[in-house]
Structure 1
Amino acid sequence: MRYTTFGHRTGLRVSEYALGTGNFGTSWGAGADIEESRRMFDRFAEAGGTFLDTADSYQFGESEEILGSFLTADRDHFVLASKFSNGYTARKDISKTGNSRKNMIHSVEASLKRLGTDYIDLYWVHFPDDLTPIEEILRGIDDLVRSGKILHAGLSNFPAWRISHAAALADARNWAPVAGVQIEYSLVERSADRELLPMAESLGLGAALWSPLGGGLLTGKYRRGTQGRLSDLKVLVHTESSDQKTAVVDTVLDIARETGATPAQVAVAWVRERSARAATPFLPIIGPRNTAQLDDYLGALAVRLSPEQYTRLTEVSAVPLGVPHEAVLGARDSLRGGDASRVDVPVRPMA
C-alpha cells in the first residue's frame, strides 16, 4: 500500500485505498456481520490501509458503531471519514436530515458518539439538499473545524459548479477550505471526466472515487447469475443497458484473460493508473462485503496494465464531453493560431 496527501490543500496523509464500510452491519438486510467486518478491517490494516470511509446513514448507524469498536485500540493511526445529510434512521425526521447548521451539529455529535472518538478527520456533506445556502454549510464546517470536532471537510455528490463556488467562497472569507470531493467513478461511469475531475485537478482537491466496480458490473459476475448489489440492494448499480457498457465489460474480461488478473483487479488497476496520470490524487473507495472480495481489491495493487491495455480501456469507456468541450476541440487550431501541431501544450505536473 502506498500513501499520499489528500489533495494539495491538506497535509492529511492517507493510504491509496479508502475502505468503504457501507457493508459493515446488516441493518439494511444485506452486509457483513461484526465478525466478518472485523476480519475485513484487520486485513485492510495489515495491508497498510489507513483511510476509512463511513457515513451516519450506512446500515442506519450500525456501520459507525462497528467501526468505532474497532478503532478503540489505535484511533490516531487511522484517517476516519464520515458523512451526514440523509439521517441515520429508516424513519426520516425533517429536523434530522439535510444540510442545515442544525442538522450538521446534531449529526456530528451523534457520529462522534457512535464512533467513540472526539474528532473526525474528514467530514463529508453527503448530498446537496437544494435548500441550505452554501454559506450556511461552509460556516457550519468552519465552526466544527475551529472546535476541533472535525479536521477537514469535503463535498460529496455535488455538481462541479457548486463545489468550485464553495471553494472560492471559503477561501475569500478565510473559512476552513473545501478539502476534496467524493464522486462515483469507474469504467462504466465516467461522466465526472467532463467537469468534476478537471475541477478537482485545477483546484488541488482530493478526489475519493466510489463504486470503482460499477456496482459489481465490471466483475462480470452478473453474466454468471451471481448475486450482489444488483440483486440484494437494487440501488447504485449499473447494468449492461447500452452497447457501450457491454463493450466495456467485454474488454475488461479480455484483458483479465491476458494478464491473469481478475476482472475486478483490471477495473481497479485502470482507476489507479488514471489517478497516477492526474495532477491531484484520485483515491478509490473499495467496498467489499467479505474478505474474499477485499483480497481481490488488494490484489489489484500488483496489477500493471500495459500502455496498450490502458488505452483500450480508456477508449472503449470514454464519454462524450458535450458542450462546450467538443466545440472548443473543434476550434482548437484557430484558437492556437492556425496550426495546433506547432504549439507546445504545457504539461501538468504529476502529483
Structure 2
Amino acid sequence: MRYTTFGHKTGLRVSEYALGTANFGTGWGAGAEPDEARRIFDGFAEAGGTFLDTAETYQFGESEELTGKFISADRDHFVLATKFTLGATPQPSISKTGNSRKNMVASVEASLKRLGTDYIDLLWLHFPDELTPIEEILRGLDDLVSSGKIHHAALSNFPAWRVSRAVTLADLKNWAPIVGIQHEYSLVERTADRELLPMAESLGLGAALWSPLGGGLLTGKYRRSTEGRLSDLGVVIHTESTDQKTAVVDTVLALSEETGVTPAQLSVAWVRERAARAATSLVPIIGPRNVTQLDSYLSALDVQLTPEQFTRLSEVSAVPLGVPHEGIAKSLGGIQGGDASRVIAPATPVA
C-alpha cells in the first residue's frame, strides 16, 4: 500500500485506498455481520490501509459503531472520515437532517459517541441540502475545527460550482479550508471528468472516488445473475442501460480474457492509473462486503496496465465533455490552424 497527502491543502497522509464501511453491519437489511466486518477491517489494516470512510447514515449508525470499535486499540494510526446530512435513523426528524449549524453540531457529537473517539480527522457534508447558506456551513465547520472536534472539512456529492464557491469564501474569510471532494467515479461513470476533477486538480483538493466497480457492473457478474447490490440494496446501481456501458463491459471482459486478470482488478487498476496521472490525489474508496472481495481489491494493487490497455479502456469509457469544453476545443483548434498570433498576441499600445 502506498500513501499520499490528501490534496495540496493539507498534510494529512492517507493510504492509496480508502476503506468504505457502508457494508459494516446489517441495519439496512444487507451487509457484513460484525465478525466478517472485523475480518475485512483487519485485512485492510494488515495490507497497510489507514484511511477509513464511514457515515452516520450507513447501516443507521451501526457502521460508525463497528468502525469505532475496530480502531479503538490504535485510534491515532487511522485517518477516520465520516459524514452527516441524511440522519442516522430510518426516519429521522426534520431537525436531524440537512446541513444547518444545528444539525451539524448535533450530528458530530452523536458520531463522536458512536465512534468512541474525541476527534474526527475528516468530516464530509454528505449531500447539499439546497437550503443552508454556504456561509453558515463554512462558519460551523470552522468552529468545529477550532474546537478540535474535527481536523479537516470536505464536501461529498456537491456540484463543482458549489465547491468552488465554498473554497473561495473559506479562503477569503480565513476560515478552515475545504480540503476535498467525494463523488462517484469508474469506467461506467466518468462525468466527473467534465468539471469536478479538473476543479479538484486546479484548486489542489483531494478527491475520494466511490463505487470504482460501478456498483458491481464492471465485474461482469450481472450478466450471470442479479445477486449483489442489484438485488439486495437496489441503490448505487449501474446496468447496461446504454450502448456505451455495454461496450465498456465488453472491453473489460475482453481484456480480462487476454491478460488473465479479473474484470474487477482491471477496473480498479484503471482508476489507480487515472489517479497516478492526476495533478492531485485521487483515492478510490473500496467497499467490500466480504474478505474475498477485499482480497480482489488488494490484488489490484499489483496490476499494472500497459499504456495501450489504459488507452483502450479510457477511450471506450470517455464521456462527451459538452458545453463549453467542446466549443473551446473547436475554437482553439481553429485558431491553431490559422494565424493564431492575430488572436492571442497582446495588443500593441498606440503611440
Partner of 1:109: 109
Per-residue CA shift, 1:151-189, capped at 9, x if unaligned?
001000000000000000000000000000000000000
Maintained 8 Å contact 1:333/1:339: no
Match of 1:30 in 2: 30
Q: Secondary structure at the match of 2:94?
A: coil
Q: In 1, distance between residues paired with 2:99 and 2:338? A: 49
| Residue 130 of structure 2 is aligned to residue 130 of structure 1 | yes
- Amino acid paired to 2:195: E
Is residue 190 of structure 1 aligned with residue 186 of structure 2?
Answer: no
Structure 1 residue 259, shift from structure 2 partner:
1.8
In the aligned structure 2, how far is the partner of 1:103 from the partner of 1:225?
Answer: 41
- Give me the whole-angstrom Cα distance separating, in 2, the residues matched to 1:207 and 1:21: 17
Which structure would you say has the larger Rg?
2
Taking a change above 3 Å as real, the CA distance of residues 269 and 339 of structure 1, as seen in their structure-2 partners, is farther
3-state SS in 1 of match to 2:218: helix
Alpha-carbon distance, 1:140 to partner? 0.5
Aligned equivalents of 1:238, 1:221: Cα separation in 2: 12
The equivalent residue for 1:169 is 169
Query: Normalising by structure 2, what TM-score?
Result: 0.96
Secondary structure in 2 matching 1:153: strand
CA gap of 1:279–1:106, structure 2 versus 1, over 3 A, is same
Q: Which amino acid aligns with 1:192?
A: A
Distance 1:150 1:335 in 2: 49
Determine helix, strand or coil for the equivalent of 1:7.
coil
Taking the TM superposition and a 5 Å limit, the aligned residue runs for 1:154-165 are 154-165=154-165
Q: Tell me the CA shift for residue 91 of structure 1.
A: 1.2
Residue pair 1:187, 1:313 contacting (<8 A) in 2 also: yes
Large movers: runs of 4+ above 2 Å: 333-340
Residue 2 of structure 1 is matched in structure 2 by: 2
Q: Distance in 2 between matches of 1:288 and 1:339?
A: 55
Cα deviations by residue, 1:238-279 (Å, 9 ceiling, x for unpaired): 000011000000101111122211100000000000000000
Counterparts of 1:174-323 in structure 2, within 5 Å, are 174-323=174-323
Q: How does 1:46-65 map to 2 (within 5 A)?
A: 46-65=46-65
Give the match for residue 343 of structure 2: none
Count the aligned residue pairs. 340
CA RMSD between the two structures: 1.0
Equivalent residue, structure 1, for 2:345 = none
What are the ranges of 5 or more consecutive residues in structure 2 without an aligned counterpart? Answer: 341-351
What amino acid is aligned across from residue 159 of structure 2 in structure 1?
A: P
Q: Following TM superposition, by how much is the alpha carbon of 1:235 offset from its aligned partner in structure 2, in angstroms?
A: 0.6
Structure 2 counterpart of 1:346 = none
Letter in 2 for 1:261: V
Q: Residue 88 of structure 2 aligns with which residue? A: 88
Q: Secondary structure at the match of 1:209?
A: strand
Gaps of 5+ in 1: 341-351
Q: Is the 8 A contact 1:187 1:317 kept in 2?
A: yes
1:14-56 CA-to-partner distances (Å, cap 9, x unmatched) read: 0000000000000100000000000000000000000000000
Task: Give the partner amino acid of 2:220.
Answer: G
Which whole-Å deviations, capped at 9, do the CAs of 1:272-295 have from their partners, x for residues lacking one? 000000000100000000000000
Q: Under a length normalisation based on structure 1, what TM-score does the superposition of the two structures give?
A: 0.96
Rounded Cα–Cα distance in structure 1 between residues aligned with 2:220 and 2:32? 22
Query: How far is 1:335 from its partner?
Result: 4.3
Amino acid at match of 1:179: V
Q: How does 1:137-148 map to 2 (within 5 A)?
A: 137-148=137-148
